[in-house]
Amino acid sequence: MARKATATKAKTQPNIPQFTQEQDLEAFREMLLIRRFEEKAGQMYGMGLIGGFCHLYIGQEAVVTGITMASEKGKDAQITGYRDHGHMLVMGLDPKGVMAELTGRQGGLSKGKGGSMHMFSNEHRFYGGNGIVGAQASLGTGLAFASKYKGDGAVSIAYFGDGAANQGQVYESFNMAKLWKLPVVYIIENNKYAMGTSIERAAATTDFSMRGASFDIPGEQVDGMDVRMVYDAAQRAIEYARSGNGPYILEMLTYRYRGHSMSDPAKYRTKDEVTKYRQERDPIEQVRARLIEGGSVSEEDLKKIETDIRAIVTEAADFATNDPEPAPAELWTDITIEA
Amino acid sequence: MPQILMPALSPTMEEGKLAKWVVKVGDTVKSGDVLAEIETDKATMEVEAVDEGTVTEILVAEGTEGVKVNTPIAMVLAEGESAGSAAAPVAETAPEPSEAPVVAAEKGADAVEAAAVPAAPKFEPQADPDLPEGVEMVEMTVRQALNEAMAEEMRLDKDVFIMGEEVAEYQGAYKITQNLLQEFGKDRVIDTPITEHGFAGLAVGAAFAGLKPIVEFMTWNFAMQAIDQIINSAAKQLYMSGGQVKAPMVFRGPNGVASRVGAQHSQDYSAWYSHVPGLTVIAPYSAADAKGLLKAAIRSPNPVVFLENEILYGSTGLVPKVDDFVLPIGKARIARKGADVTIVSFSMGMRYATQATEKLVAAGVDVELIDLRTLRPMDSDTVIESVKKTGRMVTVEEGWPQSGIGAELSARVMEAAFDYLDAPVIRVTGKDVPMPYAANLEKLALPNVDEVIAAVNAVTYRS
């Protein structure tokens, strides 16, 4: 339920919210799709099929999954930075289109002209896919402004990382969002490292949920590895924003298993740290264990889901490998619209 | 995919050393398990398994240097998969990398590349609309013209709103938004905090969601804080999204040199923004152009940078009194027809150019004076046609000379009308210095009428 707006940190629900088996299965499917898709993307990058930068979401799957489950699909807008593949998959964009954009093919979501960091969908209300760290905070606030202007009841969900949380425009946006009571939920995905710089080395205060305090924006720190906690907090935050109370901040404590991008050897953290997260906190394994424990879902059932997802990813990869590159004439299209 | 290939770990990696095998033949692996470590000149990285399976073969020994990207290094077979099914893809994919360069070499790499670049489409501007016979012309200031343009468009389209510092309660720092708050209310005329980067980005986001924002910068100098959002978000969005997401909006405010305000408040950004594909850049001089082009800018489906000039806000001109006076974007205006020399300018530069033209005509020089009005898309056709007639060109702008609008015009004329030129083009520009404060130095830093006349005399060999 909505909590009273307060500058002090809202308390995260003490009891772990329970998921129905149906919700667990949905979360399992969505997160596994991201995981397998990203692994495939990593592999295809290794094969030279994907160029440039490629930032994988592996480890952080619960964040976008839980939030999207709590949002109204097709109505609420979402926007994020460059680590964006998972967002699109969960929002229902075609994995083939996403993968083909990664490989720079004509069937890519941006006709191959955007790449890993630049994909969008008006239909699904996904506004990227932004390569400039922090820009999506202002843009996402603008999406919320438009919702309020039009009175359409939509909420804007703007994701950015612990690195972007130190950008000036984030606070300019916080100020305007609170001043004008804009329906925006800021999701700070704190994966502990801005590229190779740990939060301790980059941030004077590392509790990012409090970063809205001077604007009187409520914030919560959430276990971003547990999809139930994410979903629960997101419901609260989205409801708060949709009811006209203004912005809300959710700091998601999460972890990326891979490097910042493909070419990151990740020397700034220990192998043990990564292993510990993978073995003890993995968002997908948590759900898997719960489902099996529940008794009515078998290993076989989950294997079947895995097989289905593998097929989707393989199909996406095949499409992205065989789809032609954009026609040379596409070089000159979509620069401006002829009035 | 039973084969494990030597991966590329950066956009530029071609080969690396297989430093260490972490698994051995017979090991069972699952997705995410580390199989091997490889080294490049930059880093050591791990190769992870993507699928579950059993390692059946190691094809490249530990310690091997110079392993080319995409070389099979091991076989991992999934349950029920046979080694035989693996053989086919090897044969199919292996020749590919070596084949491509051969083809390119045969045709000649240059030829292949040259043929691959299609011609850029040509922008065809429309002509100014014909005005009804005997139309009433109303004298008004540029300020009034801009104000009317916004009010008219806001009446027509409720998705149009204006935001910026002091645009509402204060009625505009330069009074361009006078009375808009009274007519349209605070939901559509919005005072912002002093937060250019933030509100520019917010407006771009609102445009993505279908609104048509007008963003007023108190001056374009302050827009430097927001230039990332203007270029990286607004200008590039349509292209990056493959034509899906539009940013129909106007960024406007006074640009160029003000009076005695020093280096940070006196600068012409015309060349900066005109550099950027995806943007439309308009810099009007007359009141009529200010009105007709601002209306066109607000209606444009593209992001428009609309560069006004503080000094010109109070200057008056005749504006036709018609219901809907909209001018075409991208069309230069021939302010005076002539045969001896072409002067090309825009915005405040037109004041120097116009005054110089009056004196030159009086002295017997038949000047053709062109006001570009729009800087992107640039109407080079009008300029080139003129130069083909006169054989001489002088450009006038307040901006710095290097990579300026005059430099661009010179290049275009050189490319398209080289044989028609009877003299080198001369650029009259602001001096290549930050704007000084002292009155005498500021005057020296600006272009002036005498410099324009001297340039015309030089290109017509009259000096």
Say if the Cβ atoms of A175 and B198 lie within 8 Å. Answer: yes
Provide the 8-state DSSP code for A18: P
* 3 state DSSP class of A188: strand
Q: pLDDT at position B107, please?
A: 43
Q: pLDDT at position B113, please?
A: 52
Write the CB contacts of A130 (distance below 8 Å, at least 6 apart in sequence): A79, A80, A81, A82, A117, A118, A136, A139, B233
How near does any CA of chain B get to the CA of A260, in Å? Answer: 12
Say if the Cβ atoms of B201 and A118 lie within 8 Å. Answer: no
Unique residue bearing structure tokens 């955007």: A114
CB contacts of A176 in chain B (<8 Å) are: 192-193, 195, 198-199, 202
CATH fold for domain B333-459 = Rossmann fold (3.40.50)
Backbone dihedral angles phi then psi of residue A272, each to the nearest 5 degrees: -60, -40
CB contacts of A178 in chain B (<8 Å) are: none
Residue B97 clears pLDDT 50, i.e. is over it: no
Question: For the purposes of burial, counting CB atoms within 10 Å of the CB of A153, is it exposed (0-12), middle (13-18) or buried (19 or more)?
Answer: middle
Count of CB atoms situated within 10 Å of the CB of B446:
17
Q: Is B278 on the interface with A (CB under 8 A)?
A: yes
* Confidence tier at B102 by pLDDT (50, 70, 90): very low
Q: Is A316 on the interface with B (CB under 8 A)?
A: no
CB contacts of A145 in chain B (<8 Å) are: 202, 205-206, 211
Q: pLDDT at position B52, please?
A: 81
Residue B106 clears pLDDT 60, i.e. is over it: no
Q: Is A47 on the interface with B (CB under 8 A)?
A: yes
Inter-axis angle of helices A168-179 and A135-150, nearest 10: 20
Q: pLDDT at position A8, please?
A: 52
3-state secondary structure A37-81: HHHHHHHHHHCCCCCCCCCCCCCCHHHHHHHHHHCCCCCCEEECC
Tokens of A294: 């529940």
- How long, in residues, is chain A? 339
Tokens of B28: 């069972």
Say if the Cβ atoms of A39 and B280 lie within 8 Å. Answer: no
Unique residue bearing structure tokens 């004298």: B139
Closest CA to B232 of B329, B294, B308, B303: B303
Q: Is A336 on the interface with B (CB under 8 A)?
A: yes
CATH fold for domain A21-71+132-318 = Rossmann fold (3.40.50)
Average pLDDT of the segment spanning B288-293: 98
Q: pLDDT at position A13, please?
A: 54
Say if the Cβ atoms of A172 and B195 lie within 8 Å. Answer: yes
* Confidence tier at B5 by pLDDT (50, 70, 90): confident
Count of CB atoms situated within 10 Å of the CB of B80:
6
CB contacts of B41 in chain A (<8 Å) are: none
CB contacts of B6 in chain A (<8 Å) are: 46
Tokens of B155: 């009446």
Beta-sheet strands, E only, within chain A:
77-79, 156-161, 184-190, 193-194, 197-198, 219-223, 248-253
Distance in angstroms between the alpha carbons of the first and the last residue of chain A: 47
Write the CB contacts of A185 (distance below 8 Å, at least 6 apart in sequence): A67, A155, A156, A157, A158, A234, A237, A238, A240, A241, A247, A248, A249, A250
Q: Is B111 on the interface with A (CB under 8 A)?
A: no
**pLDDT-wise least confident of A226-235, B90-99, B376-385, B428-437:** B90-99
Say if the Cβ atoms of A141 and B201 lie within 8 Å. Answer: yes
Please state, in angstroms and rounded to a whole number, the distance separating the CA atoms of residues B33 and B37.
12
Q: pLDDT at position B114, please?
A: 55
What ipTM score was computed for the predicted complex, to two decimals?
A: 0.93
How near does any CA of chain B get to the CA of A172, in Å? Answer: 5
Q: Hey, where are the domains in chain B?
A: 3-115, 137-320, 333-459
Closest CA to B129 of B293, B328, B288: B328
Check the CA dihedral B389-B390-B392-B394 and report its sign.
Answer: negative
Provide the 8-state DSSP code for B231: I
Average pLDDT of the segment spanning B44-68: 86
B171 vs B16: which has the higher pLDDT: B171
Which chain B residue shows the shortest CA-CA distance from A265? Answer: B45
pLDDT tens-place string over residues A46-92: 888 999 989 999 999 999 999 999 999 999 999 999 999 999 999 99
Q: pLDDT at position A172, please?
A: 98
User: What amino acid positions of B are annotated as catalytic residues?
Assistant: 196, 265
H or E element that contains B39:
strand B34-39
Q: pLDDT at position B32, please?
A: 72
Which chain A residue shows the shortest CA-CA distance from B238? Answer: A334
Residue ranges of chain A with per-residue pLDDT less than 70: 1-14, 339
Q: Is A50 on the interface with B (CB under 8 A)?
A: no
Write the CB contacts of B396 (distance below 8 Å, at least 6 apart in sequence): B343, B344, B345, B349, B350, B352, B353, B356, B406, B428, B429, B447, B452
Residue B2 clears pLDDT 80, i.e. is over it: no
Say if the Cβ atoms of B201 and A278 lie within 8 Å. Answer: no
Q: pLDDT at position B39, please?
A: 85
Residue B445 clears pLDDT 70, i.e. is over it: yes
Backbone dihedral angles phi then psi of residue B337, each to the nearest 5 degrees: -85, 140
Residue B161, CA distances (Å) to A149, A337, B142, B245, B271 in order = 10, 21, 20, 19, 27
**pLDDT-wise least confident of A6-10, B28-32, B420-424:** A6-10
How near does any CA of chain A get to the CA of B304, in Å? Answer: 10
CB contacts of B16 in chain A (<8 Å) are: none
Q: pLDDT at position B91, please?
A: 36
Average pLDDT of the segment spanning B184-189: 98
Closest CA to B352 of B460, B450, B454, B458: B450
Which chain A residue shows the shortest CA-CA distance from B43? Answer: A265
How near does any CA of chain B get to the CA of A256, in Å? Answer: 13
Domain B137-320 bears CATH identifier 3.30.530.20: no
Please state, in angstroms and rounded to a whole number, the distance separating the CA atoms of residues B261 and B439.
10
**pLDDT-wise least confident of A5-14, A143-152, B395-404, B437-446:** A5-14
Interface of A with B in 246-265 (CB under 8 A): 257, 262-263, 265
Domains B3-115 and B333-459 belong to one CATH topology: no
Q: Which residues pair with B58 in a beta bridge?
A: B74
What does CATH list as the number for B3-115? 2.40.50.100
Query: Residue A6: which region, alpha, beta or left (left: phi > 0; alpha: psi -120 to 50)?
Result: beta
**pTM (predicted TM-score):** 0.90
The beta-carbon neighbor of A39 closest among B31, B161, B211 is B31
* Confidence tier at B85 by pLDDT (50, 70, 90): very low
Helices marked H in B108-214 — which ranges?
109-116, 142-156, 180-184, 196-208
Tally: H helices and E strands in chain A: 11, 7
Residue B438 clears pLDDT 80, i.e. is over it: yes
Distance of CA B20 to the CA centre of its chain: 49
Q: Do residues B217 and B196 make contact, with C-beta atoms less than 8 angstroms apart?
A: yes
Say if the Cβ atoms of A336 and B240 lie within 8 Å. Answer: no
Q: Hey, where are the domains in chain A?
A: 21-71+132-318
Average pLDDT of the segment spanning B399-424: 98
* 3 state DSSP class of B406: helix
* Averaged pLDDT score across all residues of chain B: 91
Say if the Cβ atoms of B11 and A51 lie within 8 Å. Answer: yes
Say if the Cβ atoms of B70 and A111 lie within 8 Å. Answer: no
Identity of the amino acid at A311: A
Which chain A residue shows the shortest CA-CA distance from B225? Answer: A169
Q: Is A122 on the interface with B (CB under 8 A)?
A: yes
Q: Is A168 on the interface with B (CB under 8 A)?
A: yes
Backbone dihedral angles phi then psi of residue A184, each to the nearest 5 degrees: -130, 140
Residue B95 clears pLDDT 60, i.e. is over it: no
Tokens of B2: 């039973």
